Structure 1
Amino acid sequence: MAVGEIRSMTGVRGAAAVFVMVYHFELDRIPSDGALSTFLNHGYLSVDLFFILSGFVMAHVYGPSFLSGAFRFGDFLWHRIARIYPLYLAVTLGFIALAFVKSSQLDIGPDVFVSNVLMLQALGNWPSIDPPAWSVSAEMLVYLLFPVIGLLCLKSSRTAALLLGIGALLAILILTLAASLHYIGSTISKGLLDLIAAPFTLIRCLAGFTLGQLLWRLHNDPVAASFASRTSIQICVALLALVALTQPDWDFPIYLLIILLIFCLSTDRGMFSGFFASRPLHFLGDISFAVYLTHYRALGVWSMVEGRLGNTGFVIRNVVATVVTSMVVIGVSWLLHVGIERPCRQLMRKGSAAFVRKPAA
C-alpha cells in the first residue's frame, strides 16, 4: 500500500470504473423508463466522482508540501504524466492500429491525431479516438492549474474557501439548469450533466477538482471528520444515493451525495471505509484507469456474446453479455496495468529522481 493511501478511496474509484463500464454496455439496451434504467443512466456521473476524487487525492498527496512551501510544480507535473500518459498513449495508438487493421484506412485527420496524442482534445472539441478519454484530457489540463487551485483552496481564509466552494457548486447547478432548459447538451445525453463538449467538460472537471481540494481541507477538521465517520451518517448517505439514482433529473442532488460519499471515505472509518477498502474493490481501483480506457472498445465483444445467446430471454442475454465482457475487460486491464501502466510509471519516476540526484558537472 502506498504511503498515505486511503484504501477506501482506491476502492470507490474501482467501483466507479465498473459503474461507468456497465453504463456503456447497457446504454440504449434496456427500456428507457423504470428505476433500473434511470439508475444505469446515471452511470456517467462516475466521471464527476473521478474529478472530485482526483482533487482530493492531489491535495492529500501534495497539500502538506504545498502548505510548507516545499511543493515543486515540475515534480508534480512529471509524476502526473508518468501516472497517466504511458497507458493513455499505448491504448490510443492501439485503437488506431486496430482501426487500420480492420478497414485498411484511417478516418482520422492530422488535427485529431495530434490533439489526442498531446491530450488536448478537451480544449478544442476534437473527438477522442478512445471516447472516454475526453475526461483524461480535461483532467490533465486542470493539472496545469494546480498551483493556482491549490493556492485558492488550501491557503486562503475559511471565508474565501467557502465562497470558492459555493462558486464551484453554482457552476455545476447552472450547467444542470441550462441542460434542463435545453440550452446546452446533446441528443445523446443521458443526464443533465452528461456534457462532453468544451467548455462544459472543463467546467465539470475544474469544479469537481476544486471541490475535492476543499474536501481535503475539511477532512483535516476533527469535528467534521468525526461526524462523517459515523455509521448512521454513512447509512443515510448510502440510502439517499440509492433513491436519488433511481430518480430522473436528480443529477445535481446525486452530485451532492457524491461529495458526501467521498468525504465519508476520507475519514477512513465507518461502514463505507470497510466496504470500499475490501480486497476486490481495491484491486479494481488499482486497475481502474485501464478499465476506464479500454471498456468502451469492448462493446463489440458484448454484442458478439449477446448474439451467440440466440433466443435466450432478453434479461439473461444482457446480464450474461455484461458479466462476460466485464470479465474480459478486467483481465485485459490487469495485463495492461502490470505490463505497461505500473512499470512505465516506476521507470519514469526513477529516471526523474536519478536526474535530480545527478551532481552538476
Structure 2
Amino acid sequence: MDGLDLLRGLAAIVVLVMHIAGFKGGHLAVDFFFMLSGYVMARTYETRLRSGDVSSPKFMWMRVKRLWPVMAIGAVLGLNVALVAGGPSADLGVAFIFAMLLLPAGAVTPYLLNLPAWSIFYELVANAVHATWLARLSDRAMIGVLGICSALFIASFAVTGFPRILHETTITMQVAVIFRALVSYIMGVLAYRLLKDRAPFHIPVLAGCALMVGYIVLVSVVQFPLWPVPFIFVVAPIAMISGLDPNAPQRISHVLGTMSFPLYAIHFPVIALCALAGFGPGTALLASLAVAALWLIPSRPVQWKRAASAA
C-alpha cells in the first residue's frame, strides 16, 4: 500500500540521519519496521501458513531469499571498510561468514561489518516464531502472547535499559532484544487481523509521518523514563493506521518504498567509506541515497512498457 511504503521509506531515512548525526531517538524507527513486517507478513502469508499451502521452512526460505542479496552487498561493503581501516584478520573472516549467513557473530561484536544487520536477524526470528506458532493462534491467544512479551520487554528495559544492539553488546542484551522485536511484530500481526486494510478512523498519512518524526525528535532532545514505550504502543500503531490512507501520494511512496530496504541495509558501510575518504556528513547522506536509488532502475522499463500500452 502506498501509505505504508511512504512510512517505510521515511523510517529508513530516519535511521540514515541518526547514524550520520548521532541522535538517540532514531532507534525507534526500527520498532516501526518490526511492526510493519508483522502486518505485511500476516497480510501476505498467514492464511497460507494456516492452511499448509506454505510450510514454515518454505516461508523462511522465501524470507531469506528476499533479504539475503541486499544484506550480502552490505556485508561485502562492510568487509572492505574493515580491510581498509585495519587490514585482514581472522576475526574479520569469521564476521564476514556470519554476516553472509545473516547470523550474529559472537557475544561482544555480533554485527561488526554492518551494524543494522542486527534488526534483520531479529525480524527473521520473529518470522520463524510467526510461521511455526503464532499463525495458528486465535486472536485472543495472540493478545495473551502480546501481553507476556510486553511484560518481558518492560522487565528487560528495567534491567538493561532500552534493548538495542550497538557496536559492542552482551548476550543478555541480545536476548532482551527478542522481546522488543516480538512486541512490535505481534502488534503488526494483530493490526492486520483486526483491521485488514480498513482503517478504524481516518488519519492522513502525512499526519502519521509528522507524528512519527515529531516523537523521535522529541525523545532525541528530552529523555524521560521508558521513552520508547509510548512510541511502540501508541505512536507507531497510529502511524501504521495512517499508512492505510487511500489518498497517499503514489509516486513518492513508490520511490521511497523501493529505496527503503537497500537504504537501510547498505547505508552504514557507505557512511564509513565516506568517512575513510575524508568526506563530510552531507556527502555521506547523498551517497547513501544515491546507492539506494540504484534499486529504482529495474522498475523503469516496466513502467515505460505500461505507459506505452496505455497510450
TM bucket normalised to smaller: 0.7 to 0.9
C-alpha distance in structure 1 between counterparts of 2:212 and 2:291, whole Å: 34
Residues 1:241 and 1:115: Cα distance change in structure 2 (over 3 Å): closer
Corresponding position of 2:202: 229
C-alpha distance in structure 1 between counterparts of 2:50 and 2:5, whole Å: 24
Q: What is the CA-CA distance between 1:236 and the residue it aligns to?
A: 8.6
Which of residues 149, 154, 157 in structure 2 aligns to 1:168?
A: 149
Q: What is the CA-CA distance between 1:299 and the residue it aligns to?
A: 4.2
Q: What is the CA-CA distance between 1:18 and the residue it aligns to?
A: 0.3
Corresponding position of 1:291: 263
CA contact (8 A) 2:274 2:284 kept: yes
C-alpha distance in structure 2 between counterparts of 1:184 and 1:144, whole Å: 25
Corresponding position of 1:260: 238
Q: What is the CA-CA distance between 1:238 and the residue it aligns to?
A: 5.0
Corresponding position of 1:18: 13
Corresponding position of 1:328: 287
Residues 1:238 and 1:166: Cα distance change in structure 2 (over 3 Å): farther
One-letter code aligned to 2:287? V
Residues 1:254 and 1:290: Cα distance change in structure 2 (over 3 Å): same
Which of residues 175, 184, 187 in structure 2 aligns to 1:208?
A: 184
TM value normalised by structure 2: 0.78
Aligned alpha-carbon RMSD (Å)? 3.1
Instruction: Give the match's secondary structure for 1:145.
Output: helix
CA contact (8 A) 1:149 1:210 kept: no
CA contact (8 A) 2:126 2:181 kept: yes
CA contact (8 A) 2:34 2:181 kept: yes
One-letter code aligned to 1:166? G
CA contact (8 A) 2:7 2:209 kept: no
CA contact (8 A) 2:258 2:295 kept: no
* Most deviating of 67-76 and 282-291: 67-76
Corresponding position of 2:214: 242
Instruction: Give the match's secondary structure for 1:165.
Output: helix
The size of the alignment, in residue pairs, is 284
Structure whose alpha-carbon radius of gyration is higher: 1
CA contact (8 A) 2:215 2:231 kept: no
One-letter code aligned to 1:259? P
C-alpha distance in structure 2 between counterparts of 1:305 and 1:112, whole Å: 26
Q: What is the CA-CA distance between 1:296 and the residue it aligns to?
A: 1.7
Per-residue Cα deviation, 1:298-348 (whole angstroms, up to 9, x for no partner): 145268344xxxxxxxxxxxxxx43x4322111112226758xx9xxxxxx
Q: What is the CA-CA distance between 1:255 and the residue it aligns to?
A: 1.6
Corresponding position of 1:315: none
Corresponding position of 2:306: none
One-letter code aligned to 1:143? N
Question: How do 1:1-361 residues align onto structure 2 when only pairs under 5 Å count?
Answer: 6-27=1-22, 40-101=23-84, 103-106=86-89, 108=91, 110-121=93-104, 126-128=109-111, 129-152=113-136, 155-156=137-138, 158-176=139-157, 178=158, 183-185=159-161, 192-196=162-166, 197-220=173-196, 225-230=198-203, 235=207, 239=211, 242=214, 245-246=217-218, 247-249=222-224, 250-256=227-233, 257-265=235-243, 267-269=244-246, 274=248, 277-297=249-269, 298-299=271-272, 301=274, 304-306=278-280, 321-322=281-282, 324-335=283-294
Unmatched segments (≥5 aa) in structure 2: 167-172, 300-311
Per-residue Cα deviation, 1:58-116 (whole angstroms, up to 9, x for no partner): 11111232344423334322221221111211221232134335544236255433322
Residues 1:200 and 1:287: Cα distance change in structure 2 (over 3 Å): same
Q: What is the CA-CA distance between 1:286 and the residue it aligns to?
A: 0.8
C-alpha distance in structure 2 between counterparts of 1:199 and 1:58, whole Å: 23
Instruction: Give the match's secondary structure for 1:13.
Output: helix
CA contact (8 A) 1:229 1:268 kept: yes
C-alpha distance in structure 1 between counterparts of 2:160 and 2:239, whole Å: 28
TM value normalised by structure 1: 0.68
C-alpha distance in structure 2 between counterparts of 1:200 and 1:143, whole Å: 17
CA contact (8 A) 1:17 1:46 kept: yes
Instruction: Give the match's secondary structure for 1:83.
Output: helix
